[in-house]
C-alpha cells in the first residue's frame, strides 16, 4: 500500500514538474539537446540529472550577466529548438545553434559567440583519394539534417552529384562512415574532433580544408528582441573580460579563429550579423514552397514504395507465422507465439535501431532495406494475429464439409479456410496498411528521407510548420484515403458474393 | 442383399454420460433408413460417427468394408477410403460461402479426383440438373433458397459418387411441396443403388419415404450432442 502510495506520489510529482515547466519567472530557462551533445551540452557523467558542456557554461555566464537568477536547462530535440523557443518553452536556445539567414529572419538571434569550420571526414584509407567535396561525385556523404552542412550537400548534389544522407544526430554518421555505409561526413569541426576522439583516433581522418565557415548563436523568440539585446551585451562583456575564452579553453575548443571572431564582434560599429556558410538570401515563402514540392513528391514516393514493399513482406511473413501458430508442431507454435509477443511488446523504433545499427557487425543492410525489413517484420506480427483470428472465425462446419469431401488438411486451408478468412481479414489489414503508411515516418531515424522527414527539413528551413505540415497531411491523406475506399469496395463486393 | 453400413454395439459417451449405448443396425443398398427420436438422443452424433467426424467409445462401424473402431478419429489420410464411401448433407448445408453452387460441387472432383475443370463442370452441371437446380449453378450460396441450397448440398455430397448418403434433418426447412420433391429425389437415389440414412424427427416424412425407421430411446436426462 505504501509502495503504491509512493508510486502515485512520484507520478504526481513528475506530472506537476512537467506542467510547471513553463514557469520562467525567476531562472533563465534555456533549451538545448543533451543527446550525444558533448562538448555543447551533455548529461554530466558524475550526476546524469545535470548537464555540462561549453554551452551550459555560456548559458550560466549569460544568466549571471543578466542578474536573472540561475540558468535552468530544458531538454529539446536539436531540430526543434527554433519552434520550441518561439512557442515559449524556454527563453534562449543554445546548443550549437547555427547562424543562418533563415534563422535571422524568423527569430531573434544573438551575436555569434563561436566560429566553426565545416570539415569533411573520410575513412583513413581514402584520405589520399578524397581531398574535398569535388572528389565525392556519386558518393554518399552524411551529415545532420537541417544544418548548413546539409544545405551545402544539397547544393553539391546538383553541382557535383554527391548523394546527401541526412541523420537525426551527429554520432551515427561517423559510425556509418567507419562501417562503410558512407564515404564521407561533413560536419562542424568540433563535432568531427569529438567523434574522432570517441573512435580512439582511428578509422577516419578529418580533412584540413574547411568546406565553409559558420557561427554558433543563441536563438530567441522574435518577440524577445529586447532580451536578445541584453544577452548580446553580456556576450560582448564575456568576450572582453576573457570569461568566454576561459570557457572554450576549458572545453578545449579554443583556437585562433575564436580570438579573431571576438575582435570582429567587439570592433566599434560591428553588428551581430555575420556570414553564414550557406549562400543565397531567404527567398519569398511561396517560391520556397514551390522549390520544395519536387523533394516532397520524391519523399512521398519513398513513403509509398516503402509501405507497399513492407506490407507485402508483412503479409507473407504474417501468413507463415499464423500457419505456424495454428498448424505447426509445439516447438514452432512456441517460436511463433514468442516472436509475435516480442515484436508486439517492443517499440518499432527500438527494432529499427537494432536491425540497422545493432546488426551492423553481422549484416550491413542498406538503410532502405533495413527500414523495409524492420517495418515488414514488425507488421508481420500484427498481420499474423489478424490472420489467426480470421482463420479461427471460419465456421467449423465449413471445414468439416471439406473433410467429408476427402480434401486434405492442406487443401482445406488453401481452398476453403484461407479464402473465407481473407474476407474477415480485409478490414483490419487495410487499417494496418494505413497505420504502416504513417509508421513509415519512423524510418527517418536510420537516414531514410521519407515524407515526414522531408517535411521536417522543409519546416526547419522555412521556419514554420504551417505550410509544410498542411502539404504533408494532404499527401498522406491522398495516399491513405483511396486505399481505405478500395478496401471498402472490395469488402462490399465480396460481401455481395455471399449475400 | 449385403449391408452397406453396419453398426455393432455403438457406444458414445458425452459429458461423462452414455449418450448412445449398444446400438446396432444396418443399412442396405437401395434402402432408406430413418433415425428417429426426439432432439438430443444422438441422431446427429450417429451421422457424424459414420462420417468419421466424431470419435466413439465402443463398438464398430463398417461402411462398405471400411471399418472404424473406437478411439480418436484416425488421420485424414487413413480415412480417404471412407470419404469415397460416405456423403454427408449437413442440416444447415454448410455450402462453401466463397464458391458458386457449381464450384461447391466441382471442388472435390477437381482436387480429390484430379479431374480437369471442364470435366468436373460437366459432371457437376449434370448433377445439379438432376436435382433441379441446374439454373442456379452460378449463384452464391446465400442467394439460394433453403430448398435450393439443400439440393446443391446433395449434389456436392454425391459428387464423389458415394454409395452411402447421410442427411441430417433434411425436412427441417422445407414446406410441404418441397418435402414431396425431396422424398421423390431420395427414392430415386435409393433406386440407383445407394443406401440413405436420415436423421429426422419428421415422422410423417419417414413414414412416407423411408423403408425402415430406427427409433432411438430418449436418454434420461436428455443431453444435446450437437
Question: Residues A358, A493: one domain?
Answer: yes
The reply to whether A105 and A123 lie within a common domain is no
Asked whether residue A277 is domain-assigned, the answer is no
For residue A185 the three cell numbers come to 561526413
Q: Are residues A56 and A170 in the same domain?
A: no
Residue A253 lies in domain: 2-111+217-266
CA gap A280, A293 in Å, rounded: 19
Closest among A202, A192, A152 to A170, alpha carbons compared:
A192
Q: Is the pLDDT of residue A486 over 80?
A: no
**Claim to verify: residue A152 and residue A203 sit in the same structural domain:** yes
| A474 shares a domain with A327 | yes
User: Rounded to the nearest 5 degrees, what angle is found at the Cα of B205, between the Cα atoms of B202 and B211?
Assistant: 115
Residue closest to B28 by CA, chosen among B198, B196, B216: B196
d(CA B202, CA A258): 104
pLDDT in tens, A277-294: 333 333 444 555 677 788
Tell me, yes or no, whether A26 and A94 share the same domain.
Answer: yes
Domain ranges (residues) in chain B:
1-73+196-218
Using CB atoms, which residue from B77, B94, B112 is nearest to A401?
B94
Alpha helices in B100-201 (DSSP H): 101-111, 117-130, 146-158, 176-191
For range B59-80, the mean pLDDT: 91
Q: Which residue of A has its CA nearest to B96?
A: A398
Q: What CATH number should be reported for the domain holding residue A488?
A: 1.10.3720.10
Residue A444 lies in a domain: yes
Together in a domain, A246 and A347: no
* Residue A207 DSSP one-character state: E
Suggest the residue from A404, A414, A416 to mutate for an interface test with chain B (most B CBs closer than 10 A). Answer: A404
CATH of the domain at A149: 3.40.190.10
Q: Which of A476, A29, A448 is closest to A227 using CA atoms?
A: A29
Say if residue A238 is in the same domain as residue A308: no
Q: How far is B55 from chain A (nearest CA, A)?
A: 14
Instruction: Give, in order, the Cα–Cα distances in Å from B51 to each of A224, A415, B44, B48, B136.
Output: 86, 21, 10, 5, 28
Kindly report, residue by residue over A161-174, the tens digit of the pLDDT.
899 998 887 888 99
Q: Is A359 helix (H, G, I), strand (E, B) or coil?
A: helix
Q: Is the distance from CB of B190 to CB of B32 less than 8 angstroms?
A: yes
B198 CA: distance to closest CA in chain A (Å): 16
* B140 touches A: beta carbon within 8 Å: yes
Question: How many structural domains does chain A have?
Answer: 3
| Nearest Cα residue to A225 out of A85, A100, A113 | A85
Give CA–CA dist A283/A316, Å, rounded. Answer: 48
pLDDT higher than threshold 90 for residue A244: yes
C-alpha cell recorded at residue B220: 434420461
ipTM over 0.90: yes
Q: What predicted TM-score, i.e. pTM, was given to this entire model?
A: 0.69
Residue owning grid cell 565545416: A118
Same domain, A205 and A298: no
CB pairs under 8 A between A and B: 70
Of A397, A407, A498, the CB nearest to B98: A498
Q: Residues A135, A227: one domain? A: no
Same domain? For A89 and A53 the reply is: yes
Compute the C-alpha angle A211/A216/A217, nearest 5°.
145
Q: Cell for A439?
A: 509508421
Q: What does the pLDDT look like over B9-66, one tens digit per residue?
A: 999 988 888 888 889 999 999 999 999 988 888 899 999 999 999 999 999 999 999 9
Domain B1-73+196-218 classified CATH 3.40.50.300? Answer: yes
- Is the domain of A125 the same as that of A106? no
Q: Is residue A435 part of a domain?
A: yes
Place of cell 530535440: A77
Please give the span between the terminal C-alpha atoms of chain B, in angstroms, as a whole number.
33
Does position B222 have pLDDT exceeding 50, yes or no?
A: no
The pLDDT value given to residue A35: 74
Amino acid at each position: 500500500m505504501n509502495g503504491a502510495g509512493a508510486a502515485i506520489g512520484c507520478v504526481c510529482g513528475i506530472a506537476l514538474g512537467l506542467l510547471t515547466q513553463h514557469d520562467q519567472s525567476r531562472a533563465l530557462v534555456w533549451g538545448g539537446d543533451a543527446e550525444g551533445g558533448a562538448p555543447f551540452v551533455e548529461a554530466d557523467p558524475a550526476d546524469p540529472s545535470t548537464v555540462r558542456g561549453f554551452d551550459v557554461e555560456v548559458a550560466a555566464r549569460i544568466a549571471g550577466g543578466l542578474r536573472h537568477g540561475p540558468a535552468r536547462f530544458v531538454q529539446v530535440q536539436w531540430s526543434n529548438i527554433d519552434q520550441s523557443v518561439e512557442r515559449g518553452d524556454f527563453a534562449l536556445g543554445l546548443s550549437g545553434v547555427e547562424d543562418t539567414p533563415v534563422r535571422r529572419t524568423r527569430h531573434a538571434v544573438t551575436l555569434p559567440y563561436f566560429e566553426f569550420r565545416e570539415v569533411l571526414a573520410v575513412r583513413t584509407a581514402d584520405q589520399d583519394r578524397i581531398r574535398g567535396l569535388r572528389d565525392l561525385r556519386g558518393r554518399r556523404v552524411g551529415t545532420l539534417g537541417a544544418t548548413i552542412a546539409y544545405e551545402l550537400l544539397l547544393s553539391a548534389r546538383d553541382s557535383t552529384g554527391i548523394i546527401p544522407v541526412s541523420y537525426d544526430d551527429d554520432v551515427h554518421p561517423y559510425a556509418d562512415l567507419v562501417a562503410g555505409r558512407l564515404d564521407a561526413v561533413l560536419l562542424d569541426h568540433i563535432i568531427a574532433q569529438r567523434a574522432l576522439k570517441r573512435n580512439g583516433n582511428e578509422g577516419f581522418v578529418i580533412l584540413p580544408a574547411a568546406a565553409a565557415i559558420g557561427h554558433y548563436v543563441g536563438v530567441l523568440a522574435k518577440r524577445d528582441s529586447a532580451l536578445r539585446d541584453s544577452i548580446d551585451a553580456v556576450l560582448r562583456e564575456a568576450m572582453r573580460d576573457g570569461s568566454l575564452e576561459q570557457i572554450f579553453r576549458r572545453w578545449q575548443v579554443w583556437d585562433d579563429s575564436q580570438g579573431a571572431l571576438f575582435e570582429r564582434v567587439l570592433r566599434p560599429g560591428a553588428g551581430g550579423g555575420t556570414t553564414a556558410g550557406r549562400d543565397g538570401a531567404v527567398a519569398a515563402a511561396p517560391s520556397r514552397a514551390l522549390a520544395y514540392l519536387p523533394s516532397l513528391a520524391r519523399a512521398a514516393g519513398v513513403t509509398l514504395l516503402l509501405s507497399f514493399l513492407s506490407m507485402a513482406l508483412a503479409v507473407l511473413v504474417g501468413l507463415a507465422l499464423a500457419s505456424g501458430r495454428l498448424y505447426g508442431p509445439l516447438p514452432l507454435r512456441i517460436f511463433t507465439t514468442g516472436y509475435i509477443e516480442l515484436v508486439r511488446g517492443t517499440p518499432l523504433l527500438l527494432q529499427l535501431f537494432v536491425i540497422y545499427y545493432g546488426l551492423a557487425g553481422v549484416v550491413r543492410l542498406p538503410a532502405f532495406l533495413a527500414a523495409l525489413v524492420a517495418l515488414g517484420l514488425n507488421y508481420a506480427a500484427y498481420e499474423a494475429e489478424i490472420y489467426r483470428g480470421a482463420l479461427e472465425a471460419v465456421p467449423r462446419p465449413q471445414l468439416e464439409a471439406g473433410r467429408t469431401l476427402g480434401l486434405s488438411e492442406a487443401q482445406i486451408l488453401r481452398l476453403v479456410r484461407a479464402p473465407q478468412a481473407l474476407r474477415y481479414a480485409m478490414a483490419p489489414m487495410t487499417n494496418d496498411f494505413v497505420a504502416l503508411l504513417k509508421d513509415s515516418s519512423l524510418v527517418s531515424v536510420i537516414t531514410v528521407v521519407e515524407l515526414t522527414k522531408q517535411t521536417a527539413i522543409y519546416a526547419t528551413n522555412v521556419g514554420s510548420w504551417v505550410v509544410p505540415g498542411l502539404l504533408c497531411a494532404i499527401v498522406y491523406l491522398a495516399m491513405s484515403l483511396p486505399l481505405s475506399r478500395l478496401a471498402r469496395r472490395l469488402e462490399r463486393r465480396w460481401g455481395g458474393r455471399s449475400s | 442383399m449385403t449391408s452397406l453400413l453396419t453398426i455393432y454395439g455403438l457406444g458414445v459417451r458425452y459429458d461423462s454420460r452414455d449418450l448412445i449405448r449398444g446400438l446396432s443396425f444396418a443399412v442396405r443398398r437401395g434402402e432408406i433408413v430413418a433415425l428417429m427420436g426426439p432432439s438430443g438422443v444422438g441422431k446427429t452424433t450417429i451421422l457424424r460417427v459414420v462420417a468419421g467426424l466424431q470419435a466413439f467409445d465402443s463398438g464398430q462401424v463398417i461402411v462398405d468394408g471400411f471399418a472404424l473402431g473406437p478411439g480418436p478419429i484416425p488421420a485424414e489420410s487413413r480415412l480417404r477410403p471412407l470419404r469415397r464411401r460416405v456423403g454427408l448433407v449437413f442440416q444447415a448445408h454448410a455450402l462453401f460461402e466463397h464458391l458458386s453452387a457449381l464450384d461447391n460441387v466441382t471442388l472435390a472432383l477437381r482436387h480429390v479426383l484430379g479431374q480437369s475443370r471442364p470435366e468436373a463442370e460437366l459432371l457437376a452441371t449434370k448433377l445439379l440438373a438432376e436435382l433441379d437446380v441446374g439454373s442456379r449453378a452460378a449463384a452464391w450460396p446465400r442467394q439460394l433458397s433453403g430448398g435450393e441450397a439443400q439440393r446443391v448440398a446433395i449434389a456436392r455430397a454425391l459428387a464423389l459418387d458415394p454409395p452411402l448418403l447421410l442427411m441430417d434433418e433434411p425436412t427441417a426447412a422445407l414446406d410441404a411441396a418441397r418435402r414431396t420433391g425431396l422424398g421423390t429425389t431420395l427414392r430415386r437415389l435409393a433406386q440407383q443403388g445407394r443406401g440413405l440414412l436420415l436423421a429426422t424427427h419428421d415422422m410423417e416424412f419417414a413414414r412416407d419415404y423411408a423403408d425402415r425407421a430406427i427409433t432411438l430411446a430418449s436418454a434420461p436426462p436428455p443431453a444435446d450432442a450437437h
